[in-house]
Structure 1
Amino acid sequence: MQTGINNGTINAHFLHADPLDKLPIVKGAEFDSYTNQHQDECLPGTRTELLNEVAEWAVSPEGKLIFWLNGMAGTGKSTISRTVARRLEEEKILGASFFFKRGEGDRGNAIKIFPTIARQLAKSIPQLTPGVRKAIDNNSDIGTKGLKEQFDKILLQPLLDLDSSALSVLNVVILMDALDECDVDKDVRLILQLLPRLQNSKAMRLRVLLTSRPELPIRLGFKKLAHQDHEDLMIA
């Protein structure tokens, strides 16, 4: 009898499991994860002009889709990213964040970046959840496919299907920090090629904040983007 009860409990668990749980995500990639809890943010009164510029871009109807904050090592890009992420979260417009870090497992590559972002966005924007679940139901292995298919199925299409009249948020920011620490240069260039397609979603005002060193693969990736898709700021 005990065995039957246990099996019934297990079966019930699987019957009610959330398809979102099938997405392979990178733990520790979010700005406020346990892994990042002791990382610095900007001291009060510092970087004020820059932080205000980013905050204005995030909500401005005239702002370009991508804001590329770039600078050499030691210029405080990740510190700025964490500060911006905290402020955006407080304003309830941070949709998702992914902090690359070379040598830290899947934080050093792009294999799970779109599932990780899609999972966060589904939490930030509940109306997105049915579309992401549908993509997973249609292909339970979607999280292991190529970056383009992942992007199209679990991120872009659910965004395109959103009904703006049902949304409680207008502005949503996706933050990707230290893109230069992604190990595969071709993946970096592909990510940059895919992101402008987010503009096809008209239900909300999407923005993407990217930070990186101005390394050649990233500079070449941005050269292929239309000027109206991004604005750049170099910090020292």
Structure 2
Amino acid sequence: QARVATSAFHNSGQRLDPPCCHEDTRQAVLQEIFEWIVWDTTRKTWIAWLNGAAGGGKSAICQSVAELCIARGILVASFFFFRTDPTRNTILHLVATLAYQLVLLVPDIKDLIVGAIESNPLIFN
């Protein structure tokens, strides 16, 4: 739990007024990402990583996608990086934060995650 960055959650109160795409903006990219989430059965990974220049709207796009997924009951976990937050500006908290959210959503997975941690205590390093 020491590695869980609750401030990185999509709905964290510590993310004051999280950015979101204005209505009718970035529709093409939102549609492309959402279709990948819902319809792409050929994907080789279940993790999407959006990167780009600072101020390019990545957080707004990701927040909008998270809200679309929440509305459809399909959001599993999220992590919002932020360069001035020491718990969100490094990957050290990423795995623990995602695992924590998975356990909250799918309690039956807890034993598998605990087993993985016990068999490899350095998993978060």
Asked if these proteins are the same fold (TM beyond 0.5), I'd say: yes
Q: Which residue of 2 aligns with 1:31?
A: 10
Do the aligned residues in 1 keep the contact of 2:92 with 2:124 (CA within 8 Å)? no
Q: Which residue of 2 aligns with 1:6?
A: none
1:64: how far off? 4.3
Higher-strand-fraction structure: 1
Match of 2:108 among 106, 124, 127: 127
Q: After superposition, what is the alpha-carbon deviation per residue over 1:119-163, rounded to whole angstroms, capped at 9, x for unaligned?
A: 101112222122123345x36x93xx2xxx339xxxxxxxxxxxx
1:112: how far off? 2.0
Do the aligned residues in 1 keep the contact of 2:20 with 2:64 (CA within 8 Å)? yes
Cα distance in 1, alignment partners of residues 124 and 93 from structure 2: 9
Match of 2:90 among 93, 109, 119: 109
Q: After superposition, what is the alpha-carbon deviation per residue over 1:46-72, rounded to whole angstroms, capped at 9, x for unaligned?
A: 111111111110122123425443332
Cα distance in 1, alignment partners of residues 50 and 94 from structure 2: 19
TM-score by length of 1: 0.47
Q: Which has the higher contact order (CA 8 A, sep 6+)?
A: 2
SS at match of 1:98: coil
Match of 1:61 among 33, 41, 59: 41
Q: Does 1:78 align with 2:59?
A: yes
Cα distance in 2, alignment partners of residues 49 and 72 from structure 1: 19
TM-score by length of 2: 0.82
Q: Which residue of 2 aligns with 1:49?
A: 28
Q: Which residue of 1 aligns with 2:124?
A: 150
Which structure has the greater CA radius of gyration? 1
Do the aligned residues in 2 keep the contact of 1:23 with 1:116 (CA within 8 Å)? no
Q: Does 1:88 align with 2:62?
A: no
Q: Which amino acid in 2 is paired with 1:88?
A: C
> Identity of counterpart residues, as a percentage?
33
Q: Which residue of 1 aligns with 2:99?
A: 118
**Closer/same/farther in 2, CA of residues 23 and 70 from structure 1, 3 Å limit:** closer
Cα distance in 2, alignment partners of residues 68 and 107 from structure 1: 15
Structure 1 gap ranges (5+): 1-21, 152-236
Once superposed, what is the RMSD of the aligned Cα atoms? 2.3
Higher-helix-fraction structure: 1
1:89: how far off? 1.8
Structure 1, 126-135 or 83-92: larger mean CA deviation: 126-135
Q: Which amino acid in 1 is paired with 2:74?
A: I
SS at match of 1:70: coil
**Closer/same/farther in 2, CA of residues 23 and 93 from structure 1, 3 Å limit:** farther
Q: Which residue of 2 aligns with 1:40?
A: 19
